Structure 1
């Protein structure tokens, strides 16, 4: 499930559904917008399988997964494959928002591989709209339809920020630009 469907992206770009010659390029912009949204939010939006390589110098009963939100923990095995830990709900608890895994009645040490599903199963309207704004911005700058604008979309240039993510998309995602309020 993509953050924005091809049909929604085409609608944002005013491209008829039956016009398919640009579909591959548009899907590339959907992928780029998804990555930009995830970078701004610091979380996974498009659900996918994630593999974390973990290293525990001592025995622990809990640890953090690297990507959140966590949908489900699939497996936890030693790096060499000789040991696995039960990750069923009665044997392990996963805090979906923080990514903290707590093993109930077991410890883990050494190197291990955690395989899990991460992502937001229902991103908010603001997240989807921000992605569509980014897609439209990338599409227009690729096509030269915006004219020459230093900050993109008539926005002033902000040092340390690129032009791929318009400020209005960043604001929809809840991240404020540095500066004086």
Structure 2
């Protein structure tokens, strides 16, 4: 699954749905835009499965590395000899913080492997639009659109930022300033 569909990409680029000549390249763009957007947001957008090693030192809680957490799949010792229940009632998950607390057991100290699903269950409109703007930017700049300057479509380059995400997309993704309506 990608943040945006091939059909949405074609609509953004004003390409007729029946024109399939660039579908493979456009699908690559749709698939590739996920990583820079997730990096910008600092969170997983496209839901998928992850596995982390966690170290128990006597407590019941641990952090997973990617958020928001949708669900836990399994928790096993790295040697595969033990497993712990992670379903409802056995574990509590703070989805945004990635904090998992085991409710029914206290694992012995050691390393375990946790498998879980993370990502947004509903991708927000501003994220989808940022993805489409980024794809359009990449599509137009590789085709030598006239008048494209550094940053794309007259946008200035922002130090510390790459060229792939245009400023318009970044502004759609950035959080509003505190206290500003």
Do the two structures share a fold, i.e. TM-score over 0.5?
yes
Give 1:10's aligned residue. 10
1:148 is displaced (CA, Å) by: 4.3
> Which secondary structure state, in structure 1, belongs to the residue aligned with residue 70 of structure 2?
strand
Question: 8 Å contact 2:45–2:123 — kept in the other structure?
Answer: yes
1:95 equivalent in alignment to 2:82: no
In the superposition, the TM-score normalised over structure 1's length comes to 0.91
Report SS of the residue matched to 2:76. strand
Residues in 1 aligned to 2:87 and 2:110: alpha-carbon distance in whole angstroms: 21
Aligned to 1:45, the other structure's residue is in SS state: coil
CA distance in 2, matches of 1:175, 1:166: 16
3-state SS of paired residue (2:87) = coil
| 1:104 matched residue in structure 2 | 103
> 3-state SS of the aligned residue for 2:142?
helix
- CA displacement at 1:3 relative to structure 2: 1.0
2:179 is aligned to none
Change (3 A) 1:5 1:96: same
Q: Give per-residue Cα distances to partners, 1:65-101, cap 9 Å, x unaligned.
A: 1111111100000111001010011111111111111
Q: Name the structure 2 match of 1:135.
A: 135
Q: TM-score, normalised by structure 2?
A: 0.91
Residue in 2 that maps onto 1:72? 71
* Superposed displacement of residue 19, structure 1: 1.2
* Structure 1 gaps, min length 5: 177-181
CA contact (8 A) 1:9 1:132 kept: yes
Change (3 A) 1:77 1:110: same
Once the 2 structures are TM-superposed, how far is the Cα of residue 105 of structure 1 from its aligned partner? 2.7
Residue correspondences, number: 175
Task: Tell me the equivalent position of 2:42.
Answer: 42
RMSD: 1.4
